[in-house]
Amino acid sequence: CYFITPPYSAMTDDARKRIQALEQFSELGSGFNIAMKDLEIRGAGDLLGGDQSGFINEIGFDTYQKIMNEAIEELKENEFKDLYEDENPGEPKEYVKDLQIDTDFELLFPDEYINNITERLNLYNELGTIKDEAGLLQFEAKLNDRFGPLPKQAQALLTSMRIKWLATKMGIEKLILKQGKMVGYFVSDQQSSYYQSGAFHKVLQFVQKHPSLSKMKEKETKNGLRLLLTFENVKSLKKALELLEMVFE
Q: Which domains does the chain have, with CATH numbers?
A: 8-84 (no CATH), 100-247 (3.90.1150.50)
Q: Say how far apart CA 98 and CA 185 lie, in whole Å.
A: 13
Model confidence at 79, pLDDT cuts 50, 70, 90, reads low
More confident position, 174 or 40: 174
In this prediction, residue 64 carries a pLDDT of 58
**Percent of the chain clearing pLDDT 70 (strictly above):** 74
CA–CA separation, 125 vs 145, rounded Å?
19
More confident residue, 245 or 95: 245
Which of 192 and 94 is assigned the larger pLDDT? 192
pLDDT given for residue 153 in this prediction: 94
Percent of the chain topping pLDDT 90: 48
pLDDT one-digit tens code per residue, 16-71: 888 888 878 777 666 767 776 666 666 544 444 444 444 444 545 455 556 666 66
Mean pLDDT of 151-173: 95
- Banded model confidence at residue 170, pLDDT cuts 50, 70, 90: very high
pTM over 0.85: no
166 or 98, higher pLDDT: 166
Do β-strands 172-178 and 100-103 pair in parallel, antiparallel, or remain unpaired?
Answer: parallel
Residue 123 makes CB contacts below 8 A (sequence gap 6+) with: 109, 114, 143
Taking 50 as the threshold, does the pLDDT of residue 191 lie above it?
Answer: yes
